[in-house]
Every structure is written in C-alpha cells, then in structure tokens.
Structure 1
Amino acid sequence: MSNFNLGMKNRLILYSIICFVFSFLNFLEDYNESSFYEAIQDLIYLFPLSFIFILIIYLIRKRTIESNFYKRIELFNKKTFLFFVSIATIIFFSFLLRLISMVLFNDDEDLIFFDTLFFAILIIVSSVVLFIYLFEIYLENEFEKKELKIRLKENEIENLNDKYMSLKNQLNPHFLFNCFSNITSLIDTEPEKAIKFVEELSNVFRYSLTNSDEILVTLSEELKLLNSYFELQLIRHQGLIKLESSVDVSKLDYLIPPLTLEILIENALKHTVFDKHNLLKISIYTREEQLIIENNFNPKINTVKTESFGIGMKSIKKQYVLLNCGEPSFKIENNIFRVEIPLIKSSYD
C-alpha cells in the first residue's frame, strides 16, 4: 500500500471516530430532552453528514497543498494562500448551508438570510475548518519529525559504515604491509625519516579514532590530517604524487565533516592512473566560501563516470544534505576532476 493510501486510510478512521464522538454526545443531549427514537434518528442523520462535511474540507485542503501553484511559491506565500483558501471555504459553505436550510426547513414567507441561524452556521463551519487545518498541521509536523528521525538514524548508520570502511582501508593488510615495509627499509637507510613516518602514521590513526564521531571539524584540523596522510602516501608511492595547497588563512576556522579530505585523496589515489611520466597532481585551495580539491583526470578502467567514484562521495553529499549547509559538487572539466566543498562558518565567529 502506498504512503498516500495509508495516510488517507488513517485519516478516514480518525475523522470517523471524531464524528462518531460528536454525534454520540449530541445523541445523549437529545435523549435527555426528547425521546430515544428521535435521538437515534438524529444520530443516523448527523454522523454521515458530519463525516462527509469534514471529509470535503479535508480534501479541499489536501488538493490545495498538492497543487503545482502551492508547491512553487515560498513558505510565507504558502501560509497566506492557505489562509485565503480557508476563508473562501468558510464563506462558501456558510452561504451554501444557509441556503439549503432556507429551502428545506423555512416555511416563513418573509425570509431573512443573515439571521441568527446564518451566524450560527458561520461559527460552526469556521470551527470545523479551523480544527481540520490546525489538526492537519499538527499531523504533518509529527510526520516530518518521524521522517527526520528516520533519516537521522539512516545517516548515523551510513556514517558508521563509512567510518568503519575508512578505518578498514587504513588497517587493511595491504596498507599496513606497505607501511611496515617502508618503515623497515627506512630504518637502515634513513632512520630519522622512519621515525617521522611512524609519527605521521600515528597521527592518522589518532585523528580517525578521536574525530570520526564529530559532526564537524575545523578546516585546520582536516589539513593537519591531510598532511600526515599525504606524507605516508608520498613515501608509499615513491614520489609519484604531488600536493599543492593554498588555503586562505582566514578560512582555517571554517568547518567541514571529518575525514572529508582523506576520502577525496583516497578517491584520487584509487581511481587515477599515474606513473613517473604522469604524476598524480592534487591541488587544494579556497575560493570565497568553497574548498576546491582538484586532480588531473586519468581514470582507471570502469571509472569514467563521476557516479562510479565510490561510496565516499555519496557519504559527503548525504552529510551536507542533512546539515543543510550547501551542496558539494563533483565535475570533470578540461581533464581535471574538481570537487567543490562548501565551508561552514562557525557559529562562534
């Protein structure tokens, strides 16, 4: 069953219960003032009529918010538009019900349209419309809260999976074997460099374990991680990669999701063909409130399309969707793979 049918079914049940309670209270009042037969008769008429009336009001509102015009306008204009629709609905049904009452129940020759009965109908219709509109707003807000909780939970699970995959990549036997091989070879020839290598490896693991649970970290922290991670990869790939960084100092306190830069560097290393004749060149710089990461585009087989660059990209995109702080872009121009990451201004600035 679709979400629409499920929502409609729930509302039909809910509104039928409300109408039944209202009709039953009216039945008790009629039973005290008249006979049981007359009270039952009023109940039989009142329940379906009140249910149909409430359903019509609900459907008018529903069709309004589903209209293309309503979806295109801004939030303030949406509220204004919905307000005028509700006023028009009240006026229309007040006049219609008063006209029906005059035709069916009024035998007087001197008919007065705007009498006490008209204003009583106006109050009843206004109350019903106001109740439905406010009640629907409440239900929609509750539904949005539940949807947000579900999305947050899904995002939390995905983030945990991405962090696990990132740590797994760092701790996979191939990566560790290369690191230990590099350390072993450096100990005899360049002991100072071996010590530095171990320090950088320690920095990468420490950052991943301590900051991976954070929602946002400063760009300065991410660049420190990047420098340590790149030093490891530089030794591992024997100088076949090159990193140029020209980040505006004023942007160092801006925020981004943790491990963003490591994911992007991993992506470049994993999906790009490079050798001593064609180095992998990675550039990182800022432009306004964007962090730009570029590398020369020389993809391996089956990675021509941007969408095929792995779950890391999807993870970054989903984090920004949840944060509602802009949207990262991934594009290929002039044999350059370019990633633009929105920098998030700290609330303390």
Structure 2
Amino acid sequence: MQKPQPFIVHEWGTFLAIAGSNGVTLEGMSHEEHPLPDFVHAAKADSVFPKWPTLKGETPVIYFYTDKPRKVLVGVDFPSGAWTHWFPSAASAGRFSGSAPNTNGHLGWITQLAPPSPTDSLPELAADSLWRFARQVPAAATVTSNGEVERFLFYRGLGKANLPVELFPEKNAGRLVAHVPVQRVILLNIEQGKLTWRPVIALKAGQILDGVRTGLRPGSVEEIALYLTRGLIQSGLFPDEARALVNTWRSSYFEHDGFRVLFILPQAWTDRFIPLHVRPQPDQLVRVMVGRIEGLTKKREALVRAALLGFASNPEKHFATLAAQGRYLEPILRRLAQTPSLKPLCERFLATELVTKGRSDARALAEQLRLGV
C-alpha cells in the first residue's frame, strides 16, 4: 500500500508601505499598480476600506498540496485592517461584529481540494496578466461552493499599521531599524532606469543599519531576482513558488524608479499580524512574506513640489513628473501637505482623477484644477 502524502500548505505575499523623508509612514497607500482580473471579488470601498491606509497587503496566495480530495476550512484575519479583494468566492467576508470600523478584517473559505489536473477549468486571463505567474505552481485545485476554481486562494487588504522595520531615508544617509529579525535585505535605487543595489544577508531584532543609501553598486535585475529567490527558498517556499512571487513583482520591485528596501519577514510576525486558520490542520504550514518600503527622499519631494507649483504655468511639462509617481503620488502629496503653505494646493490635486483613479492627462488635470475639483 502506498504511503499517504503529507497535507502541505504554503503561502507568499508582500506588505508595502512608504516612508516619508522624515521616516514617518505615510497615509494613502491604497492604489493598485497592476489591475486585478475582472473575476476577482472586491469589498465595497465605502464600507470596509480603512481611511487613508498606511499599509497594503498585496497578493498573498495560499497553495495546498494533497494526494486526495479533501474538504478544507480556511480563515485569515487582519486585526489592524480590512480585506478588500479575494478569489475564489469566500463563505464569509467582512469584519468581526463589535469591532472598531475598518479593523478586524476576516475572510473565510469552505473549499474542496483536488489534486492538480491539466483539465482544471480555470478563469480566463489576459495574455499580460501577472496573475498567470501564481498559476505556474502545480498545487491542488481549490473549488468553492459556487463552482469557482483556482490553484490557490488569493486575498489582498489595507491596514492602519506599520511594518516591523523602519526606514529613515534622510537620517545618516539612510537608516534602517529592524524590530524583528529579517532576511535577504535588498537596498535598491533606480534613477532614470539606472539600477544600483546592495544586499544585506540578515538583520537581527533591534539592529540599526546606517548609510543604506550609500555603497550601492550597479547590478542587473536577474542578479537581484536570483538573490531574492534563493532567500525565499531558504525560508521554506518550493522553488516554483519562489519564482512565482518574484516574477509577479519583478517589474514593481526591480524596474520602477525610486529608492526601496525589500526584506523577508519572519513567519512568527506574519502569524501574529494576519493569523491563518486551516482545518484540518496541515502537516506543514509555511508562510513567507516580503516586506517592502518605498523611501521618499528630499530630492523626490522637491521634484514633486516643483511640479505642483509650476503646473498652472506649464501643465504639459509638469504633468509627466506627477504621473510618473504612479500610486505613490497620493502619499507624496499627503507628505507635502504637512507644509501649511502647500496644503490647499495639495488638497486640490488629491481630489483629481489623477490621484483618485490613476488616470488623466495634462489637459484634463488642468481643467479639473480650474474647476476647483
């Protein structure tokens, strides 16, 4: 008789924040960088989304490995935030009754697992969808009560919380403070497409690292991606899972201008921050999350400030600077609004579609501002 295979559950994802030049985590980290497939379920923004979140939990995906069909109950909590997107359909979604608004988020699935099969009927994807990378893992199919099928459980959320690592972009040429042990730290700067970086194998809890914006050397995307992939495997992910994470976030991590820090968080932190419950209990449970902090330097602040002040006189010239900030434009504007003389102007820009919907052009933005939007 063949020995039963263990029941294994693996998970990966990213938590993202942006640190102002003064090291304070900025609000407004809620926008998407890449569109999710149309079939993904979304909560109503006006009912559960935290107001001006400081943390974005992106693409946690949960894989299951089983050699036989089995029914599984899965629940994931977010004590300091709310879950905003998920797939397949959840049996329960929202927050625990009696909790404060926009906190104690919860998702629950009742799903049937089946060993992977090439005949799995998965929702269709656009050819360029980043979702396809997560599917390139031969995990069990997950089937919910309404017949939705995928090779994993996906969810995403927003929180009013801080990562356990602090970044002070301007202090001592950049200071990093680790409050928990982290692995495979990547210090990365991209400016006009030129990439420089420095790896730090590990930081202990309580360790302070100064000069994080200095000593960076030229590197390639392939080199940095391999460094991170190896760290993800050492943290417990299967090689194809690690590649799925890196390929999903490759352009966002390694190809967009800006100064950022990446690091692998300990599972003990993840278990406390977003508790996961699986029944029946798996023989192995591995959760690997990448922390990501975008560092707002004074140089970048000054660039956006100049674009704001000069926009009225030359919209075409300064629109490109504002649009290039992408989903980080709102946090940057909220940082600049801390200067009283800039607050009214920042508030007008915050109300435009360039910020609220991530789309506009120079002419439309100028018109919205003239109308006092």
User: When the two structures are superposed, what TM-score results if normalisation uses the length of structure 1?
Assistant: 0.22
Instruction: Compare the two structures and name the one with the higher helix fraction.
Output: 1
Which structure has more RCO (C-alpha within 8 Å, separation ≥ 6)? 2
